[in-house]
Every structure is written in C-alpha cells, then in structure tokens.
Amino acid sequence: MNALCLAASSRKGVVSAAMEGMGSAVPHVISVIVPVYNEADTMRELLVRLRAAPFPKEIIVVDDCSTDGTDRILAGERDIILVRHDRNLGKGAAIRTGIARASGEVIIVQDADLEYDPDEIPKVVSPIIEGRTDVAYGSRFMHGLPKGMPFANKVANVILVWAVRVLYRYRLSDEATCYKAFRAGVLKSMRLECTRFEFCPEVTAKALRAGHRIVETELVNYRPRTQRKGKKIRWTDGVEAFFTLIRYRFLR
C-alpha cells in the first residue's frame, strides 16, 4: 500500500452490546467500510449515525484523497480506523483498501452520502449471522423503483438486474445496492480488480460463480440523492457495470 498513508487508528468503544434482533446470543463484530471522496456535508452525521446504530462494529473510513475538507473532519475522529489515499484512486480501490484493514467476522460497505440508513445494517447482515448464507444484500427495489431516483439510474438498475438473471441465472431485485455484506473470509478470498464503481458487479459475479447464494433484505429507509446534491455515479458507470458482468461471466 505504497499509495496510502495511515492517518489514524483506534478501536476504542467500537464493540458494543450484542446485536439486537439477529437471532444469535453471540456478538459478531461487523466491519463497516466507508469509502469517501468529498463528502464534507454529510461525513459528521454519517459517523454519528453509524456509532449509534445497534450492532457491534469497527468503522473503517478510507478517504480517497478528498479535497473539500472531508480530510480535516476525519482527522479529528478518534474511534475509527482511518486510511487516506494520497491520490484519488476510485471507490473500488478504496473498498479494497478497507477490506485489507477489516478484522470483523462480517464486512459491509456504507456510502457516506446518507442515502442508506445505518440502522438497517443489522437486518441486512442477519442472514449471514444466522448461518443462512455467506452473502447478503439490502434491496431498494423489492416493491418497485423509489421516487426521486434519476430516470437514467432507474434504467441502469433495471438493465443490471436483468443482466444478472440472463447471464448468471439468478434472480436479484437490486444488483447495484451499496449494502453488500459478506462473511469476511468469502470477501477476502476474492481477487478483486475493481477501482471505481465496478466493485458491485465484480463481487456479484464472483460470488455467484463461486456458488454463493445471495439473500436480499428489503430496505425501507433508502433516500436517493441527485447529481445536483452531489451524487457521483453517472449513466456511463451503468454501462461499465453491464460489461463487467459480462466479462466476469466468461473470464476464467
């Protein structure tokens, strides 16, 4: 990791009481990886909500060389594992950095833009904790596409769902969800190559090709963000995701 500098590391207070409502008396530490680039407006609130969310956790924030003051906000935090890229490498690269730092039994990705509610993480990871699967997704679309999502993003999400059904013979309602959770050993065993938003189709493809069952749980507090409000993903990333699914379907 010669492109990285460790900005701070501490786990004080990150493991709390046992998870609520997860069907297990034994606490499972969840590694929450937060890839972040220029999210100064939401970073503080996201960390407050993550800390308060009812599950034992370690919070791993990977700052992908932010230039808007996010780095200064994070520098003052003392109960997170903080890593900073010294140049902008992309969301996928930031997640891979976080995976290497994770020590929890389950790993999940959390965006910093507050589209996803950290209080929903326990129900997303519960199928893994209960031993029903090694891979679990939080779905935004079990009852249709949410209001407020840009039209181009809706089209891209529908295309990706159908691509998974056709290419992998697997029914998912939401391939591109941020809330992807894995038993740590499963995710760490994947030889990930992603650098940008293609993390999602790459891990979906590799999980399905390895024979893992992906269990979806409905998200009820998803709040889509528009490009005007800072959303970074573009329709071209949907095209890249589509071809990533094709690539890993046939690549040996």
Task: Kindly report, residue by residue over 64-93, the tens digit of the pLDDT.
Answer: 999 999 999 999 898 999 999 999 999 999
The domain in which residue 151 lies consists of: 4-250
Does pLDDT of 148 surpass 70? yes
Q: Are 31 and 109 in contact (CB under 8 A)?
A: no
DSSP annotation of 122 reads H
- Please list the alpha-helical segments (H only) found in 42-87: 43-52, 70-75
Round to whole Å and give the CA distance between 25 and 41: 37
Predicted local confidence at residue 227, as pLDDT: 59
At residue 9, does pLDDT exceed 50? no
CA atoms of 216 and 49, how far apart (whole Å): 23
Residues 163-204 have pLDDT tens digits of 999 999 999 999 999 999 999 999 999 999 999 999 999 999
| Confidence band, pLDDT 50/70/90 cuts, at residue 208 | very high
Average pLDDT over residues 109-130: 96
pLDDT at 8 over 60: no
Q: What pLDDT score was predicted for residue 27?
A: 53
Q: Name the residue among 224, 244, 229 with its Cα closest to residue 178.
A: 224
Q: What are phi and psi of 31, to 5 degrees?
A: -85, 115
State how far the Cα of 34 lies from the Cα of 218, in Å rounded to an integer: 21
* pLDDT confidence tier of residue 143, bands split at 50, 70 and 90: confident
Within 8 A by CB and 6+ apart from 251, the residues are none
Burial degree of 86 (CB within 10 A; 0-12, 13-18, 19+): exposed
Where is pLDDT greater, at 16 or 153? Answer: 153
**Average model confidence (pLDDT) for the chain?**
87
Beta-carbon count within 10 A of 82 CB = 21
CATH number of the domain to which 177 belongs? 3.90.550.10
- Nearest alpha carbon to residue 24 among 137, 105, 110, 120: 105
Structure token pair of residue 164:
């998974």
Judge whether residue 136 has pLDDT over 80. Answer: yes
Q: What is the number of structural domains in the chain? A: 1
Share above pLDDT 90 across residues of the chain, in percent, rounded to a whole number: 73
Question: Do 35 and 99 meet the contact criterion of CB atoms below 8 Å apart?
Answer: no
238 contacts 156 by C-beta, under 8 angstroms: yes
